[in-house]
Structures are given as structure tokens and as C-alpha cells.
């Protein structure tokens, strides 16, 4: 099945929270781990991604404020909304991210693409949310 066909059967959910992306050096991450009070709540959406260059955290405003004291040296970009494509994608699907990122690029909307095991997600700036939903709404079954 092609990406456009899959999108037509997809719901896009917009998380109510506003998120921050945080970039930490590995040493800063290790210091953060020493203090369990500076961890995300297990009841809120969050992401931790570590590669050889940095540790990236996706935190909602509540967790960000609670962890802020441990993020003094971090690079921070705030004001994101999380859009989740509520459809389980098989690994054989080709071009799903490419399709909607192209449509958003044509509308001059910057995105951060995130993938979980079976679903894709987007971060868009709060000020671009309405415009992004208008663009994506043409291709999906439902926005919520």
C-alpha cells in the first residue's frame, strides 16, 4: 500500500502538552542520571535518544520545568506540539514520512520527525500547528 493510501486511513492526534527538545553532552546526561528527581514522569510522553554526539530529550513543559536545574548547560528549543499518526505501520511501508514531510515543506512548515516502533510522530512549532493541521487534514481520515 502506498503512503498516500495509508494516510487516508489515519487519524492524527495532537497531544495537549507543549514540548521542549533538549540536547545534552554525554557528561551532562550522566550527571542528570545521578539524581532520580531529575527524571521525566512515567505518566507523560517523553523520549530519550542517545547517539555518539549527544543525548536528546523530548519533555513536556511540566517535566522540563522540574528538570530545568539539571539542564543548565543544555541546548534547548521550546514550543513544540506533538502530532501522532494513529496507525501501526509495517516495516515494508515506503515513503510515509517522505509524503507528509514533503507536503509540510511545500507549506514552509518546519518539522522534527520521530519514529517509535510502529508509529510515526511529528513535532511542529505551536505557531505552525494550525497551518500544519490544515495541510495534513487534506490527506487523513481524522484530526483530533
CATH number, residue 127: 3.30.2130.10
- Measured distance between the N- and C-terminal CA atoms of the chain, rounded to whole angstroms: 24
Which of 64, 79, 94 terminates a domain? The answer is 79
Widest distance between CA atoms in the chain: 47
Domain span including residue 108: 3-16+80-139
Determine, yes or no, domain membership for 144.
no
- Sign for the pseudo-dihedral over CA of 55, 61, 65, 67: negative
In contact, 58 and 50? CB cutoff 8 Å: no
Mean pLDDT by 10 residues, the chain (144 residues): 80 95 93 85 88 95 92 95 92 88 96 94 97 91 78
Whether 133 and 111 map to the same domain: the answer is yes
Residue (of 41, 107, 35, 29) closest to 75 by Cα position: 29
pTM for the full predicted model: 0.89
pLDDT digits (tens, 9 = 90+) for 70-90: 898 899 999 999 999 998 888
Amino acid at each position: 500500500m502506498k503512503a498516500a493510501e495509508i494516510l487516508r486511513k489515519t487519524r492524527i492526534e495532537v497531544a495537549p502538552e507543549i514540548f521542549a527538545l533538549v540536547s545534552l553532552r554525554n557528561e551532562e546526561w550522566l550527571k542528570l542520571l545521578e539524581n532520580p528527581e531529575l527524571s521525566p514522569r512515567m505518566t507523560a510522553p517523553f523520549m530519550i535518544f542517545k547517539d555518539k554526539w549527544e543525548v536528546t530529550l523530548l519533555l513536556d513543559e511540566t517535566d522540563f520545568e522540574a528538570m530545568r536545574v539539571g539542564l543548565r548547560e543544555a541546548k534547548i528549543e521550546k514550543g513544540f506540539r506533538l502530532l501522532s499518526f494513529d496507525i501501526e505501520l509495517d516495516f515494508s511501508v515506503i515513503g510515509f514520512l517522505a509524503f507528509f514531510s514533503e507536503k509540510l515543506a511545500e507549506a514552509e512548515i518546519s518539522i522534527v520527525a520521530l519514529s517509535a516502533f510502529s508509529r510515526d510522530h511529528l513535532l511542529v512549532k505551536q505557531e505552525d500547528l494550525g497551518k500544519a493541521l490544515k495541510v495534513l487534514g487534506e490527506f487523513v481520515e481524522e484530526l483530533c
